[in-house]
Amino acid sequence: MPSRFRVHDLHIHTHFSSDSVEELKAYAEAGEQLAIHVGYLDHFELAFQDREGYLTEERLPELLEEFSEVHSRYPNTSLSLEVDYYSHLSSEVGEFCDNHCHDFDYLIGTVHNVDGLAVTSRREMAIFVQKFVLIDVMRRYFEEVEAAIRSKLFDGIAHIDAAMRYAPNFSEASQKTEDYWRTRTLELGKISRQYNLPVEVNLTGLNYPWGRTHPDQELIDLLAESGTKFFVGSDSHRMKLFVQSVPLVRQMTKYLQEKGALMLPGNLVSL
């Protein structure tokens, strides 16, 4: 699918995600004014289909219809899902992707939950690290991310190291834990290259005490040198963040292009 704009923000949440209220059309209008491609990426969490407010398989026709209406007026938009991967539900996730991959421009894999707890929730991460030391929590998280990459179900992988940001007192993590996190992030980036999957440069960490992208700049440089490819996402859940992130998206896109490390997922291409 060709895109007129050369800059793409491919991680934007709408009211179809449980943690956003924004309309697809509002983002599309802003994207047109700012000359940036809008890539909708709402959560799809197969393990939580019974939770109120979560996007269910039954609601997909509603999402597809709304996107079709918006896309007819604003063609510089694309539709994807941020599909959570769970090893214990790998067959079910695979069946979902097989059944719906043709409904979307691409599908992005992600991991938010490990062993029943949300590693991207500070409250639940605090519970997790009470049961296990942080390095073991990170080990389980990275095992799930690697399984998602190797599943061959997805066209890209979102925020491959985001769990570290939610760890209590992450800035005080031991050197051993820090070294493990960085080593595993590099390993996963290289595995993604083997599967020809771009890794997201997720900008949202810049808005929190973490103060860095996912992966951070040093890891991006090392991965780019080894041939890993990237796409860029603001992970916006609110219009204000989307607009504020546009200069950063432009800057990172230019940087990756200069490195020869930019790769748009699926059939999305720039004219």
Where are the domains positioned within the chain?
Answer: 2-270
Average pLDDT over residues 72-89: 97
* pLDDT tens per residue across span 195-244: 999 999 999 999 888 899 999 999 999 999 999 999 999 999 999 999 99
Please tell me the pTM assigned to this model: 0.95
* pLDDT tens per residue across span 35-59: 999 999 999 999 999 998 999 999 9
* pLDDT tens per residue across span 190-204: 999 999 999 999 999
Q: 214: closest CA among 170, 258, 153, 265?
A: 170
Confidence of residue 3 (pLDDT cuts 50, 70, 90): low
Burial class (CB in 10 A: 0-12, 13-18, 19+), 137: buried
User: Identity (one letter) of the amino acid at 181?
Assistant: W
Paired sense of beta strands 230-233 and 269-270, if any: unpaired
**What sign does the dihedral 70-268-100-192 (CA atoms) show?**
negative
Would you state the CATH architecture of domain 2-270?
Alpha-Beta Barrel (3.20)
